[in-house]
Amino acid sequence: MTASKSSRARNARIAAQASANRASAAKGGTAVKNGSAARNGGATANGQARTAAVRNGAAPRPARGAQTPVIVEDLPRGGPAVWLQVATFVLALAGLGVSIYLTIAHFTESTLAGCSESGLVNCTKVTTSPQSYVFGIPVAVLGLAFFLFAVAIMSPWAWQATRREIHLLRIASLVVGIGFVLYLIYAELFIIGSICLYCTSVHAITFVLFVLTAIAAAAWGLVPGAAWKSRPARQSD
């Protein structure tokens, strides 16, 4: 009788322990489910918040440790000074005017106004000499063609151009022009033995244009008219 009571009591304790274990397992499963739901809900809420921020135009903050994207903005680049653009353009126009006058005088065989006809300054002697032709072309015509090109290449629009070829053409044309001027000065002083005031003015204009173009290339680079450049924008927290 005593053994039977002990057996029933032991079975009752085992049953109570099993029931307690099942209740604990049920509570744990509910907590896990609630935690997963909370995490999923939080992730969904965060995703919706980021989507709303993007739609509103606000960039989301990058995650810690992630590489911050570089924002590039276009900023104006300093170009040649306005005085240089205007000065070269005016000089080119002045050279064109003198070249037109020399070309007209050459073909009409008229005397150049205000120029001496004897001594060191003798315009007629210079303009009618064999050296007044190069490859069968009158020097006055070559000067006219050069300054027609110079007016275009020295205009403010050409200075502000972003194409590299335009600025390289400007430099190349002036290198050729100053070389031609040196030849003409040599011809006047050592071959002809006289100088022409109008020709000298053209030589001086070409030399000043050459110097100003060299200054522009040294100060603002070979492409001084590039209007824009890119640099990283300042990033906000």
pLDDT (tens, 9 = 90+) of the chain, 237 residues, equals: 444 555 666 666 666 666 666 666 555 554 444 544 445 554 455 555 555 544 555 445 555 545 544 444 443 444 689 999 999 999 999 999 999 999 999 998 888 888 877 788 899 899 999 999 999 999 999 999 999 999 999 999 999 888 899 999 999 999 999 999 999 999 999 999 999 999 999 999 999 999 999 999 998 887 765 544 444 444 444
Give pLDDT, residue 25.
Answer: 55
pLDDT value at residue 37: 44
| Residue 170: strand, helix, or coil | helix
Structure tokens at 116: 């001496």
For residue 138, the surrounding DSSP H or E stretch is strand 137-138
Sign of the dihedral defined by the CA atoms of residues 76, 82, 84, 86, in that order: positive
Report d(CA 35, CA 39) in Å as an integer.
6
Best CATH choice for the domain 79-220 from the list 2.60.40.1170, 3.20.20.70, 1.20.1440.130, 1.10.10.10:
1.20.1440.130
Per-residue model confidence (pLDDT) at position 116: 77
At 72 the pLDDT is: 41
> Any residues with CB less than 8 A from the CB of 72 and at least 6 apart, and which?
230, 231, 232, 233
DSSP secondary-structure letter at 181? H
Taking the CA of residue 237 as centre, how many other CA atoms within 13 Å lie in the half-sphere pointing to its CB? 0
Backbone angles phi, psi at 117, to 5 degrees: -115, 15
Q: Provide the whole-model pTM.
A: 0.63
In the prediction, which pLDDT does 220 show?
Answer: 85
Domain boundaries, the chain: 1-60, 79-220
